Structure 1
Amino acid sequence: MRLFHFSDDAAISTFIPRPVLVPSQRAPGMEWLNGALVWAIEERVDFMYLFPRDCPRILISATERTNEADRTRWLGAYRAVAYIERDRLREIATTALHRYHLPNDSFENLQDAGMWVSRIAVKPLRCDMLSDLPAALATRGVDLRVVDSLLPLKGLWQTTLHASGIRLRNARGWA
């Protein structure tokens, strides 16, 4: 399995554990996830981070419990769908990201949407630049859908799909 970290910084020689900028409510015993960590994502779901860091987005994909009606209505023939606000499209089209390949040995699997964390510093194995993010999404079978607002999509969490909201605090009108 391959683990990655995406960044707009091309010169990271060592990832130093750091606390999250905006702590989240965590289940009892899991509060340590707001502490100093290095975060990584599995290759199978790396599409979730093919966006500028602060870009709000909603990503959906099927799971083993997804029913055919939700799959057909929301995904069609795609593996996954990513929704962004219209005013972020230019930023996505012009941003280059750096994909850092990370060694697996110090990472712990969170059993949550392909997320892994390391409690110690990590030296990347190598770094690739991705300059066409919409094309990178397309090659992974992800449909990029542009909407005026993400707010009408709040109901996606009530479907049988897996829904992830990333940086939604930056979405217009999201509370």
Structure 2
Amino acid sequence: MRPAPGEVLHFSEDPTITRFVPHVAATSTEPTPYVWAVDRRNAPSYWFPRQCPRAMAWVGRRTTDADRDRIIGAGCGDRVHAIEYAWLDAMRTTTLYAYRLPAGPFEPISSPGAQPHAMVATEPVTPLVPPEPVGNLIDCHAAAGIQLRLLDNLWPFWDEVIASTVGHSGIRLRNAQVRPASAGR
């Protein structure tokens, strides 16, 4: 599920939203009220139940061959998403909806020196069409050629990812299992 040209997407488990109004998200470090959405490149990061912790890694411009093989896996494509076994049933059973929004009011947002991780609007936005069910979230990953890796605990993998040269993003990591005493930090 990706946006068409001139669109961005908002993913939600709620199929009843008729208008998106800027707000400060409870988890946001941004003090400005926004409507949040994603572009084509960032859409796969949201093919998950909303609260599911996920560690994602991909090959970037500065990724070494050694890190690609170690983190992504030799011959395994350019991207891996990891979740914990505890979230597998939710991945199988959650109905996720995609809202198609007009791209016009949205601007990219990013951390300094990083690629944009989302699109934000500061005005209310009405969906272009009713929300569409995304479908089987595991199948979305497979169709996009993205590995979906199941782990007992995300932290050892995440520690390796952030110490490497691969691009990465972690979402809802506060919902992950407790960090093992033997793992990193």
Residue 164 (structure 2) aligned to one of 148, 159, 168: 159
CA deviation after TM superposition for structure 1 residue 93, in Å: 0.6
Residue 25 (structure 2) aligned to one of 10, 20, 29: 20
Change (3 A) 1:113 1:137: farther
Which whole-Å CA distance do the structure 1 matches of 2:121 and 2:86 have between them?
34
Which whole-Å CA distance do the structure 1 matches of 2:20 and 2:28 have between them?
19
What residue in structure 2 maps to residue 131 of structure 1? 135
What residue in structure 1 maps to residue 49 of structure 2? 52
Q: Secondary structure at the match of 1:117?
A: strand
What do the CA deviations read for 1:24-69 (whole angstroms, capped 9, x no partner)?
3xxxxxxxx2331111111122110000100001011111111111
What residue in structure 2 maps to residue 38 of structure 1? 35
Give ranges in structure 2 of 5+ residues lacking alignment.
180-184
What do the CA deviations read for 1:110-144 (whole angstroms, capped 9, x no partner)?
14444110011111112210220000111111111
Which whole-Å CA distance do the structure 2 matches of 1:34 and 1:149 have between them?
32
Which whole-Å CA distance do the structure 2 matches of 1:79 and 1:46 have between them?
15
- Read off the aligned partner of 1:134 and give its amino acid letter: I
Q: Share of identical aligned residues, percent?
A: 35
- Read off the aligned partner of 2:46 and give its amino acid letter: Y
What do the CA deviations read for 1:53-88 (whole angstroms, capped 9, x no partner)?
000010111111111111122223223111101110
What residue in structure 1 maps to residue 182 of structure 2? none
What residue in structure 2 maps to residue 87 of structure 1? 86
Give ranges in structure 1 of 5+ residues lacking alignment.
25-32
Which whole-Å CA distance do the structure 1 matches of 2:107 and 2:15 have between them?
25
More helix by share: 1
Contact 1:95 1:131 in 2 (8 A): no
Which whole-Å CA distance do the structure 1 matches of 2:156 and 2:87 have between them?
17
Which whole-Å CA distance do the structure 2 matches of 1:173 and 1:23 have between them?
22
More strand by share: 1
